[in-house]
Amino acid sequence: MIVIFVCVLLVQVCGSVPLAGWVQSPGYPFGYDPHATLTWKHCAAPGHTLMLSFFHLDLEDSEQCENDVVKVFAGNVLLTKLCGRMSAQHLLSSVNPLLRSSSGGCLSLSFEADFSNPERHTGFRAFYKEQDVDECWVHEPECSHFCHNYIGGYTCSCKPGYYLSEDQHTCSANCTEELFGEGVLTPVGSPGPYLENSFCTYTLAVQEGQQLVLSFVGEFDVESRDGQCIDTLTIKTDSAVFGPFCGQTAPPKISTGAQRVQIFFHTDQGGTNTGFTLSYRAKPMQCPGNVTANSILAPQRSQYTPGDTVTVQCVTGHSLESTLQQTFESTCQKSGRWSPVRYCEPIDCGPPNFSDLIVLTEEDPVTTYNHNISVKCLSEYYELIGDANFICDASGTWVSEKAQTKPLCLPVCGKNTAFSSGRIFGGRKAQPEELPWHLLIKEPQRGGASLISDQWAVTAAHVVDRYESDTLIFYGGITDGMDRNAVLMESEKIIIHPGFEKRKPEQDHTNYDNDIALVKMSARVSLGPNIRPVCLPNKTNSLPEQTARLSMEGKMGTISGFGGRSETLTKARYLQYGHVIEYSEVPCFPNNLKVTDNMFCAGGKSKEVDSCKGDSGGPLVVPAVGSGSPNTRHQLKGIVSWGPSICGNEHNKGYYTKVENYLDWIMETMQKN
C-alpha cells in the first residue's frame, strides 16, 4: 500500500519525459561534418532540478569559440560557451558544477560547426539527469519551526501550542483568552521564554460597579533593542490606551477606571525573553475628577463614587457647545462615567465686523478665545486710523489691544504721484496724477469741485444752487476734458450751506458769503493714482481777524480748472493750473459786493495767472504743487468763488471761500448724511 501511494504521488514524474539521458554532437564519436548543428532542451519537474555533465569535449579551437562552439543556457541565461579539447577531469571540476537549472527550470544546448576543419574532431558528449531538490535545506528560513522534504516538494509543521498560518509557512501562537474576576496573567511559555511570533489578546472583566486595577509583579522582561520595542505589551480600555510597554522596567500600577480591559501582547520570531506576571484585581468603580475638558467641578475632588453629582462650570473663554451657557450638572454612574457630558468649547468671535475697506492680514485666521488678528486697509490709497491688532475676549467680542475704538480706513489725502521740482509762476497744463483731487462739472454749467473723501466733494454753492434737487455728473481722474476714460461720479445729495444767499433763477448774486456746498456721490469712488482726495485744512484756534489776514499763512498756493484762458473763452479742453499768493492789505476787486471774513483774496504775481469763468468751485491748495517733497500733503485752503469779469487783471484779483471757517459744518454734514 505504501509503494502504491508513492507511485500515485510520483505518477506525474514517472509518466513524463525521461529523468536522465545523453546528449551528443552529430556523428559522435566518429566526428561531425562541416555545418553540423544541434539544438536540445529539457525541463525539470516541479520540486526537481536538472543537471548537465560533459564527459567528452573535442571541437575545433578558435579565439572566443568563433568557429565550432557548444553553448548551454538556463532559461535565457548563458551558462557556458565551450570549444577546443578539455580533459574529463577539467570538465568535472570547472564546467559541470555550473550547469544546473533552478527548481522546475529548464536547460538548453546549441551546437554549431563552421564550413571546414583542418583535422577531424570527435565532438562532445554530455549526460543530463533530474534530481529532487531538498527544499528544507535550500528554503529552511521559510518554515518557522519544522520543514519536511518529500520528492517534488516540502511541507512545514509547528511546535505544540502553535498553529500553521494560512501561508503554510508561519507558526503563530494561539493565545486568545477571556478571564473574569481576579487573578494572575502570564504569557504562554512561562516560566520559560514566552512564545515567539504571537499576537495574544487577553480580555479581563469584572462585575458592574467595579473597575480593574493592574499591577506587574516580579520580573518584567519584554524584548527591546536600542530603546525600541521589538515585542510589545499594550493595555486598552474603551476610553484610554496604556503602553506599549517593553524592556526590563515594569510599568506602574494602573487603575483602569474600566469594567473591561483588553491586553495585547505581540512578539516577533526570535528572542529568549521571559515575559511578565500581571496581577489583576477589582475595586469599586470611581469617576475621574474631570467631566469634560476646559472646565472645573464643584465640589472639587480627585475621585467620585457612583451617585455623586457635581456642577460643571466652563473656564473663562469657553461655553457649552457654542452657546453662552457656562454650567451644567452631571452624575457619576456605576460604569465609572459621568452623565450627562457636555463640552466646553472655546468662544468664537467669528469674522470681525469692520468696514469693507478693512481686510485681514492673514487669510482664514483662528477666531476663537484669546487668539489674535491684525487688519490693514484694502489698498495703498487708504490709511488705517486706530489699532490694527485685536484679540478675541471671553464675551465673544474682538477687543483692541490698546483699548481703542474700531479701526477706520480713511483715504490718503493731499498726495499726488507726479512731482515736478521747482516753482512755476505762469499757468501750465496739468500732467496726469498731478492734481488727482480736481473734478470737472460739464453740465448744466461748467465748474469745478474738489474730492475730499471717497464719497464726498466740495464746490462753490453758486455753481450748484440752481440744481440742488437734480442729479449732476462729475468727471474725475482726467486732465483732458474729452478723455473717455474719465471716472464718472453721480451725485446723490447736494447740500448748500444754509447761510448762502438764495436767489431766483433769473437773478444774479448780490452776496457770495458762505459760497460753499457739499456733494455726496451715489457710490464710493474707486481711488487710484489719478483720482484721490485733497486734505481739509487743519483747524486752528486763531481769532477771526487773524485768520482773515493769515488764511494761507504766507504760503504760495495752486489754483486749477478747466475754465477760460482769455476774456472770450468760457472753457478749456485741458486742465490748467497756476501759483497764487494771498493779498490781504489792498482791495482785490473794488465794487459793491460785500467782502466777509469767510473770503480771502488771492492771485498771481503776473496777470497771466488767475481763476476765470468756468473755474468756479475749483480748488486752491497749499503748498503750491511742485514745491516741497513727494510726501507733501496738500490742503484745500480755498474754493474759487467770485472776481472781476475780465480775467487776468494785474490789479484786480479773485476771491476764494475760506475753507477752514467751515470745517465744523463739513464734518457735521458728512456725519449726518
Greatest mean pLDDT range, 16-20, 193-197, 530-534:
530-534
Same domain, 623 and 525: yes
Same domain, 293 and 269: no
What's the pLDDT band for 216 if we cut at 50, 70, 90? very high
Does residue 328 register a pLDDT over 90? Answer: yes
Give the whole-angstrom CA distance, residue 190 versus residue 201: 16
Same domain, 29 and 147: no
**Is 144 an active-site residue?**
no
Going from the C-alpha of 297 to that of each of 267, 289, 291, 294, 306, the distances in angstroms are: 43, 8, 8, 10, 16
Residue 3 lies in a domain: no
Q: Which domain holds residue 401?
A: 358-411
Which of 462, 497, 579, 634 is an active site residue?
462
**Residue 231 assigned ligand-binding role:** yes
- Going by DSSP bridges, is the β-strand pair 146-150/254-255 parallel, antiparallel, or unpaired? unpaired
Residue with cell 501511494: 5
Q: In 3D, which of 595, 610, 599 has the Cα closest to residue 652?
A: 610
**Residue 116 assigned ligand-binding role:** yes
Strands in 512-663 per DSSP E: 517-521, 557-561, 576-583, 599-603, 619-622, 635-642, 654-658
Same domain, 24 and 148: no
Same domain, 462 and 521: yes
How many CA atoms are closer than 13 Å to the CA of 163, on its beta-carbon side? Answer: 6
**Residue 150 assigned ligand-binding role:** yes
The grid coordinates listed for 336 are 465609572
Across 500-524, average pLDDT: 85
Residue 9 lies in a domain: no
Residue 28 lies in a domain: yes
- Phi, psi (5° rounding) for residue 660? -65, -20
Does residue 506 register a pLDDT over 70? Answer: no
CB neighbours of residue 345 within 10 Å: 18
**Residue 480 assigned ligand-binding role:** no
The CATH number for 20's domain is: 2.60.120.290
Give the whole-angstrom CA distance, residue 303 versus residue 542: 76
Give the whole-angstrom CA distance, residue 593 versus residue 645: 13
Percent of the chain residues topping a pLDDT of 70: 88
The alpha carbon of 554 is separated from its chain's Cα centroid by a whole number of angstroms, namely: 57
**Residue 3 corresponds to which amino acid?**
V
Give 288's strand partners.
303
Which of 58, 221, 515, 615 is an active site residue?
515
Question: What tens digit of pLDDT does each residue of 395-453 get?
Answer: 888 998 776 667 889 999 999 876 543 333 346 888 889 999 999 999 888 899 999 99
The CATH number for 609's domain is: 2.40.10.10
Same domain, 516 and 654: yes
pLDDT given for residue 611 in this prediction? 64
Residue 352 lies in a domain: no
55 with 93: CB under 8 angstroms? no
**Is 483 an active-site residue?**
no
**Residue 133 assigned ligand-binding role:** yes
Residue 190 lies in a domain: yes
Q: Which of 346, 367, 394 is the last residue of a domain?
A: 346
By residue count, the chain amounts to: 673
Q: Which of 317, 346, 375 is the last residue of a domain?
A: 346
Residue 596 lies in a domain: yes
Question: What tens digit of pLDDT does each residue of 517-559 get?
Answer: 999 999 999 999 999 999 999 876 444 444 444 577 777 899 9
Same domain, 70 and 179: no
Which of 103, 616, 627, 641 is an active site residue?
616
Residue 304 lies in a domain: yes
Same domain, 78 and 20: yes
Give the whole-angstrom CA distance, residue 470 versus residue 580: 34
**Is 522 an active-site residue?**
no
Same domain, 400 and 509: no
Instruction: Classify residue 568 by burial, with Cβ atoms within 10 Å: 0-12, 13-18, 19+.
Output: exposed
Same domain, 615 and 484: yes
